[in-house]
């Protein structure tokens, strides 16, 4: 990485270990929970994913920033579609507390690049550190589990380990007001099979509980000719007309979302189809009477193998979660749906009686893979059948 003036920086973990490197992005100190991702590409999407809120993200891939950041060349602002949805990002802003890489490229080569990674992080007030042996760091995190840490930049004020940790980060990333999106104004391209029923089916109304929803959830739903009502994480469903309920991803401990859990529990009584993703999977399990727990170091990356229960079919999935469902706590009428082939954690649950299901991975994965995007189509088919 080439810079006129280099500032030294350190990554300090709560176990006392330190990693020396160089500062890029905003030259400020910042604390957070240190986690790693195995993705080889897609750093603009990962860094803007609300599920990473309050975390210092470590990239195991050795070169980051080589294709820059897709921003408007004159203003440096993100591209938005006609409804204000980011085109290339998962939210309008960088959500991580810090970024740790082996090498940050300062001379990107891509036709859509509007800024370097360092300049983009600086604009978003987010520090980065490069020159770190991220493979060795990842091994430590795998051995000792996720730890709190802080990036300390030369000449900046020190911070405490817990200064970047919010009790309920969902409240910080959920949209505070109701927003309705209509498919005709979306102006976006969908995935495989998107909008295939656009001409013959009446418009479906999906209520999206926003616990930190990725933009690609909106894109995928709108591309399938449905109207999406985006609701704050703690909004009551009373008086809301909808055909199906969608529970989004989000950051933090699912048990901090007590109001969302209670809301979903009441929604069960209506018997309308419900589908959850990531945090939505954990919230559905808690609403059903199950339990969740924190994983030692979480699943974050684009290469997690998941096997559908009762079959030998394995899917490669995109994941970003630090908590999981305890399968043995699922009550009668519920069962595991997907299992992680690496460590046998529960990666999806479903009701055996009603159209309620959820997955821990991201069918709308952006960056991909999107091998399981058909699950969104399956959910919408349930909604159509239930409305007949």
Instruction: Give 10-residue mean pLDDT values along the chain (388 residues).
Output: 77 97 97 93 94 96 93 91 95 97 94 95 98 96 93 96 88 96 61 48 91 97 96 96 98 97 97 98 98 95 94 95 97 98 97 98 91 97 94
CATH-assigned architecture of domain 170-387: 3-Layer(aba) Sandwich (3.40)
Strands 30-37 and 55-59: parallel
| Within this chain, domains 8-153 and 170-387 share the same CATH topology | no
User: Which residue in 83, 62, 80 sits closest to 72, CA to CA?
Assistant: 80
Check residue 195 and give its pLDDT: 47
Which helix (H) or strand (E) element contains residue 375? Answer: helix 374-387
Check residue 288 and give its pLDDT: 98
Helices 279-288 and 258-268: angle between axes, nearest 10 degrees: 60
**CATH number corresponding to 8-153:** 3.50.30.20
Domain ranges of the chain: 8-153, 170-387
What torsion, rounded to 10 degrees, do the Cα atoms 309, 41, 278, 180 define?
-130
Residue 324, C-beta contacts closer than 8 angstroms, at least 6 positions apart: 282, 292, 293, 295, 345, 346, 360
Distances (CA, A) of 36 to 56, 303, 352: 8, 13, 35
Question: C-alpha angle 60/171/335, rounded to 5°?
Answer: 70
Strand locations in the chain (E)? 8-13, 18-25, 30-37, 55-59, 98-100, 127-130, 147-153, 179-181, 204-210, 226-232, 244-247, 274-277, 291-308, 314-326, 334-340, 346-351, 356-359
Check residue 331 and give its pLDDT: 97
Q: Which residues are catalytic?
A: 278, 362, 364
Check residue 368 and give its pLDDT: 83
CA distance 354 to 264: 14
CA distance 282 to 254: 6
Check residue 192 and give its pLDDT: 45
- Residue where the block lists tokens 């999806």: 348
């Amino acid at each position: 990485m080439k810079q006129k003036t280099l500032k030294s920086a350190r990554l300090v973990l709560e176990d006392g270990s330190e990693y020396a490197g160089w500062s890029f992005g905003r030259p400020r100190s910042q604390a957070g929970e240190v986690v790693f991702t195995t993705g080889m590409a897609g750093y603009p999407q990962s860094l803007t994913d609300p599920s990473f809120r309050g975390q210092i993200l470590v990239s195991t891939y050795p070169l980051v920033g080589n294709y820059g950041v897709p921003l408007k060349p004159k203003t440096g602002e993100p591209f938005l579609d006609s409804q204000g949805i980011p085109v290339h990002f998962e939210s309008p802003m960088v959500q991580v507390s810090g970024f740790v890489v082996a090498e940050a490229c300062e001379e990107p080569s891509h036709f859509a690049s509007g800024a370097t990674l360092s300049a983009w992080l600086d604009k978003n007030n987010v520090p980065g550190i490069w020159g770190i042996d991220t493979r060795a760091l990842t091994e430590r995190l795998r051995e000792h589990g996720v730890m709190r840490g802080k990036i300390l930049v030369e000449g900046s004020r020190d911070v405490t380990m817990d200064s970047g940790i919010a009790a309920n980060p969902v409240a910080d990333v959920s949209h505070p007001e109701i927003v309705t999106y209509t498919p005709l104004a979306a102006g976006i391209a969908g995935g495989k099979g998107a909008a295939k029923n656009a001409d013959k089916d009446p418009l479906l109304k999906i209520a999206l509980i926003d616990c930190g929803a990725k933009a690609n959830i909106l894109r995928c739903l709108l591309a399938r000719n449905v109207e999406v009502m985006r609701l704050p994480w703690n909004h009551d469903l009373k008086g809301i007309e909808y055909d199906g309920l969608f529970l989004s991803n989000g950051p933090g401990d699912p048990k901090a979302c007590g109001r969302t859990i209670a809301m979903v529990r009441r929604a069960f009584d209506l018997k309308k189809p419900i589908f959850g993703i990531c945090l939505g999977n954990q919230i559905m399990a808690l609403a059903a009477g199950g339990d969740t727990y924190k994983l030692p170091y979480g699943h974050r990356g684009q290469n997690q193998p998941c096997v559908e229960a009762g079959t030998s079919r394995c899917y490669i999935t995109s994941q970003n979660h630090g908590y999981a469902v305890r399968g043995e706590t699922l009550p009668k009428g519920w069962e595991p749906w997907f299992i992680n082939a690496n460590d046998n954690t529960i990666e999806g649950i479903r009701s055996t009686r009603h159209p309620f299901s959820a997955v821990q991975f991201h069918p709308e994965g952006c960056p991909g893979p999107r091998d399981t995007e058909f699950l969104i189509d399956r959910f919408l088919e349930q909604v159509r059948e239930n409305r007949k």
